[in-house]
Chains A and B, each alone.
Chain A
Amino acid sequence: MPLLDEELAVLVQGGNKEAFEEIVGRYEKQLYHFALRLCRKKDLAEDIVQDSFLRAYQNIQSFDARKKFSSWIFRIVHNRAMDILRKEKKYLDIDIEDLPEIEDSKRLSEEIAKELDGLAVKQKMRTALEQVPVKYREVIILRYFHEMEYEEISDILKIPKNTVGTFLSRGKAALRETLSGKLTKEDI
């Protein structure tokens, strides 16, 4: 049976580098997609993820193994991405083609899929998501693309759980609004 992430982290704390390699393997893709959806540039997303793994290794002794490792490492990527987004507003000029297909990611949850049911608008939705303000977009990404619970999103973004719900509703509303403006009769 494979070790839990938290158990691997404890091994890394004890100096086991192979355990960290295993962690990198487990999280690399999802952290990359998370970073990419936030910063919208492949190179930048790679840098963010690489830098985040290095920071995670440097600071692994501060990780409390009673808590979720995924929240901890996503938090590091969030911090790094936000630092860059604050400094580099220019990255908001997006390169849509860099984004992976939504269908390739961990799927929209049934909830949002239902809300948008019947709309063949993957491309438009992808574009629309980019127009949602980053604080709402991030919650949508974590909830629907990484299928996280409110509790975990709250831990990553350091906001109360009810704020997660509020951001999600606002994000979905913004998404719907953007989508409704983009849909044509052919789409429906």
Chain B
Amino acid sequence: MSKIKEDVMEKISSGQVKMRSRNFFVLMKALLEISLVALVAFVIFIFNLTFYLPRRMMGAGFGSSRFTLLLESLPWTHLVFGLLGLGLVIWILYRYTGLYKKHFILIVSILSFGILLISYIVSVSNLNERLEERRGLRGLYRQQNWDTEGHQRRGPGFQLK
């Protein structure tokens, strides 16, 4: 018997290395799927906000060009978190599913388009108006519109000088 085989079988026979149960893997798979669904929901919600908040601000904007207003009102933090979340979704799908067999650019395009489309649809529904009234989520909408001294900002993003 070779050294590798001998060492491996010795560790297995002596019980130093034990087989993990099937339930462990079932549980891990379930956790991964739940996390993935939650992450996708989070990304959709965040992108929904990046559509919704500027639109609300721009509706109230005067004086500036629409482009300037868009830049000022764009929730950059949301956008960055949304993109990071989207990257994580793609990474998980590539790492843990058979998606790596497909063309990378195509998959990224389809996933991004799908998520953005759903986010846009959510943003034009009345979901945000309803969520905005909820105590736990109110800050997420309000913090974008008010500065620390209580003055209303023009938009949720940074101010262009």
- Spell out A's residues near B (CB within 8 Å): 13, 15, 17, 20-21, 24-25, 28, 32, 46, 49-50, 53-54, 57-62, 154, 158-162
* Chain B residues with CB under 8 A of A32: 4
* Chain A residues with CB under 8 A of B94: 158
Describe B's contact surface by its main secondary structure.
Answer: helix
Describe A's contact surface by its main secondary structure.
Answer: helix
* Chain A residues with CB under 8 A of B13: 17
B25 in the interface (beta carbon within 8 A) = yes
Binary per-residue interface labels of chain B (13-53) against chain A in the complex, 1 for a CB within 8 Å, 0 otherwise: 10001111110110000000000000000000000000000
B7 in the interface (beta carbon within 8 A) = yes
- B28 to A, closest residue via Cβ: A62
A17-B101 contact in complex given A60-B19, A61-B21, C-beta closer than 8 Å: no
* Chain B residues with CB under 8 A of A20: 9, 12
Find the residue from A46, A154, A160, A162 having the highest chain B CB count within 10 A.
A160
Is A54 a contact of B25 with CB atoms below 8 Å? Answer: no
Is B101 a contact of A160 with CB atoms below 8 Å? Answer: yes
B151 in the interface (beta carbon within 8 A) = no
Is B7 a contact of A50 with CB atoms below 8 Å? Answer: yes
Is B101 a contact of A154 with CB atoms below 8 Å? Answer: yes
- Spell out B's residues near A (CB within 8 Å): 2-5, 7-9, 11-13, 17-22, 24-25, 94-95, 100-104
A-B contacts besides A20-B9, A57-B17, A62-B20, 11 pairs, CB < 8 Å: A24-B5, A24-B9, A28-B4, A46-B4, A50-B7, A54-B12, A57-B12, A58-B20, A62-B25, A154-B101, A160-B103
Is B17 a contact of A160 with CB atoms below 8 Å? Answer: no
* Chain A residues with CB under 8 A of B95: 158
- B16 to A, closest residue via Cβ: A54
A-B contact pairs, 19 of them (CB 8 A): A17-B9, A20-B9, A24-B8, A25-B5, A32-B4, A46-B3, A46-B4, A49-B4, A50-B7, A54-B12, A57-B12, A58-B19, A59-B20, A59-B25, A61-B21, A154-B101, A158-B94, A160-B101, A160-B102
* Chain B residues with CB under 8 A of A162: 103
Contact of B19 among A28, A57, A158, A159 (CB under 8 A): A57
Within the complex, the shortest CB–CB distance from B10 to chain A, in Å, comes to 11
A21-B103 contact in complex given A58-B17, A158-B95, C-beta closer than 8 Å: no
Is A54 a contact of B17 with CB atoms below 8 Å? Answer: yes
* Chain A residues with CB under 8 A of B4: 24, 28, 32, 46, 49-50, 53
Contact of A21 among B5, B17, B22, B101 (CB under 8 A): B5
Measured CA separation A58–B12 after assembly (Å): 9
A17-B100 contact in complex given A58-B18, A58-B20, A61-B22, C-beta closer than 8 Å: no
Is A28 a contact of B5 with CB atoms below 8 Å? Answer: yes
Within the complex, the shortest CB–CB distance from B146 to chain A, in Å, comes to 46
Is A61 a contact of B24 with CB atoms below 8 Å? Answer: yes
Within the complex, the shortest CB–CB distance from B123 to chain A, in Å, comes to 34
A54-B11 contact in complex given A28-B5, A49-B4, C-beta closer than 8 Å: yes
Measured CA separation A59–B28 after assembly (Å): 12
In the A-B complex, list the 7 residue pairs whose CB atoms are closest, starting with the nearest: A61-B22, A158-B100, A62-B25, A53-B8, A24-B5, A54-B17, A50-B4
